[in-house]
């Protein structure tokens, strides 16, 4: 172990706790304690009073233990604090929102009528699309989505400069489309950090930029992401008109893309939320028709990534919400057998644990929830904590079992922001 938080580990040992015993007392995984002591993570505010009690120190002394030295990254260099969380990162968030306002205003301005092009605009037009695709790829492949935040923030700055430079109408349209692309990625980062209002603002700006750029599919995808924010907040009534409008926009887009099928998949979730099984099934069937498209060209790997690979888990989640565990189990089991990202696997495991609650099967609840908690400990995302909240809200009938009450405490301790 490095010396970054040596005094923290020494204090724990002096109090007679192994890492495993300390973790058990705090209802966290032992690997979480390892990350705290190695400087790769820091306890959340609500966890600190209990930690201070176990270590026999006052809270100011505890803060000193955690700030012995700056945490280091895997390369031994000073690591950045978790993004979008805390005072310093709140300032970074405000900076990004300011850049969104600036670029959004520039997108809305009319053409200048000039045809020359500045350096920043030239750079964007030459390599912007490829860079944005690479940022989406890093985002998709990373367990901790916030790793792309610094690069996205820097690219927003470049977009702001590029949009201020004189350019032709064709260049302006393309820059608007690039801006709409980047706005959606910023929205995904805010969504991952459970900052839903900020995410919705990004998606609204993305829709406006896509409209200015004349790209109907980009526009429809931005509206669909906005609708998903409403669904996640359990506001299906607010999501439905957004999805209906998104579908109308998508019908004017490129029929070889999967945009309409993705909208249908999200509509299925909205129908499930209001208890409409038949319409939900029809929407899922429509989403499944994505398999008839040319897979190599139906999505772009960036703002449009729907290829049908998630349909099993989405179908299972819909049936579970509709109170049909018999239909949900087959779909969720099929989904779990597929290669899944960390977050997607955690979501499926959480749904299978909920299925166990339906059956009053404590063994099934504990089996799948423990796996999901293990994945939460590996992720810097608040998404898994929010997903497990849905399970936690259903545990009351089983709380007489000590294993379930322990699960409840462990879920409560999970982070909800990145």
Q: pLDDT for 243-257, tens place per residue?
A: 999 999 999 999 999
- Give the residue, 251 or 417, on which the prediction is more confident: 251
Strand partners for 72: 78
Is the pLDDT at 72 greater than 90, yes or no? no
| Interval 190-218 mean pLDDT | 92
pLDDT value of residue 111: 63
Lowest mean pLDDT among 29-38, 177-186, 310-319: 29-38
Terminal Cα-to-Cα distance of the chain (whole angstroms): 25
Q: CA nearest 108: which of 176, 157, 162, 171?
A: 176
CATH class of the domain at 342-418? mainly alpha
6-66, superfamily in CATH? lambda repressor-like DNA-binding domains (1.10.260.40)
Rounded alpha-carbon distances, angstroms, from residue 113 to 100, 167, 170, 225, 282:
24, 8, 11, 34, 48
What is the residue-averaged pLDDT of the chain? 84
| Interval 279-287 mean pLDDT | 96
- Give the residue, 300 or 222, on which the prediction is more confident: 222
pLDDT value of residue 121: 78
pLDDT value of residue 415: 67
- Give the residue, 335 or 21, on which the prediction is more confident: 335
Q: What one-character-per-residue DSSP string does 27-90 give?
A: TS-HHHHHHHHHTS----GGGHHHHHHHHT--HHHHHHHHTSS--B-TTSSBPPPPTT-SHHHH
Domain definitions of the chain by residue range: 6-66, 81-214, 228-292, 342-418
In this structure, what DSSP letter does residue 16 have? T
| Interval 32-57 mean pLDDT | 81
pLDDT value of residue 139: 86
Rg of the chain (C-alpha set): 23
Q: How confident is the model at residue 416 (pLDDT cuts 50, 70, 90)?
A: low
| Interval 222-241 mean pLDDT | 93
Is the pLDDT at 100 greater than 90, yes or no? no
Show the tokens assigned to 215: 């790209």
The percentage of the chain sitting over the pLDDT mark of 90, rounded to a whole number, equals: 39
| Interval 88-97 mean pLDDT | 71
User: What tens digit of pLDDT does each residue of 289-343 get?
Assistant: 998 888 667 887 789 989 888 899 999 999 998 989 889 999 999 999 988 888 8
Lowest mean pLDDT among 52-66, 128-142, 155-169, 190-204: 52-66
């Amino acid at each position: 172990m490095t010396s970054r938080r040596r005094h923290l580990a020494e204090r724990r040992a002096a109090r007679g706790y192994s890492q495993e015993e300390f973790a058990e007392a705090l209802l966290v995984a032992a690997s979480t304690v390892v990350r705290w002591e190695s400087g790769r993570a820091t306890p959340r505010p609500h966890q600190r009073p209990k930690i201070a009690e176990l270590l026999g120190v006052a809270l100011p002394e505890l803060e000193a233990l955690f700030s012995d030295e700056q945490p280091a990254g895997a390369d031994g260099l000073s690591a950045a604090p978790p993004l979008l969380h805390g005072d310093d990162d709140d300032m970074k968030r405000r900076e990004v929102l300011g850049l969104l306002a600036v670029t959004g205003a520039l997108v809305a301005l009319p053409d200048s009528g000039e045809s020359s092009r500045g350096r920043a605009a030239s750079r964007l037009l030459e390599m912007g699309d490829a860079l944005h695709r690479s940022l989406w790829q890093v985002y998709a492949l990373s367990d901790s989505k916030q790793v792309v935040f610094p690069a996205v923030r820097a690219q927003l700055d470049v977009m702001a400069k590029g949009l201020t430079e004189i350019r032709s109408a064709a260049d302006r349209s393309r820059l608007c489309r690039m801006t709409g692309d980047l706005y959606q990625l910023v929205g995904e980062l805010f969504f991952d950090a459970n900052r839903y209002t900020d995410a919705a603002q990004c998606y609204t700006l993305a829709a406006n930029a896509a409209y200015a750029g004349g790209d109907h599919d980009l526009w429809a995808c931005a509206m669909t992401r906005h609708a998903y924010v409403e669904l996640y907040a359990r506001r299906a009534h607010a999501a439905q008109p957004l999805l209906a409008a998104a579908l109308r926009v998508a019908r004017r887009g490129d029929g070889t893309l999967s945009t309409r099928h993705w909208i249908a998949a999200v509509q299925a979730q909205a129908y499930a939320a209001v208890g409409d099984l038949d319409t939900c099934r029809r929407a899922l069937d429509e989403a499944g028709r994505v398999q008839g498209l040319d897979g190599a060209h139906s999505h772009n790997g960036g703002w449009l990534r729907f290829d049908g690979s998630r349909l099993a888990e989405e179908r299972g989640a819909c049936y579970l919400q509709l109170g049909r565990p018999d239909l949900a189990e087959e779909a969720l089991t099929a989904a779990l057998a597929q290669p899944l990202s960390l977050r997607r696997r955690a979501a499926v495991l959480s749904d299978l644990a909920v299925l166990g609650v339906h059956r009053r099967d404590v063994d099934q609840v504990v089996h799948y929830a423990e796996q999901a908690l293990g994945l939460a400990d590996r992720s810097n995302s608040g998404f898994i904590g929010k997903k497990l909240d849905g399970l936690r809200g259903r545990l009351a009938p089983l709380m007489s079992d000590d294993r379930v009450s322990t699960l409840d405490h462990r879920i409560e301790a999970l982070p909800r922001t990145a």
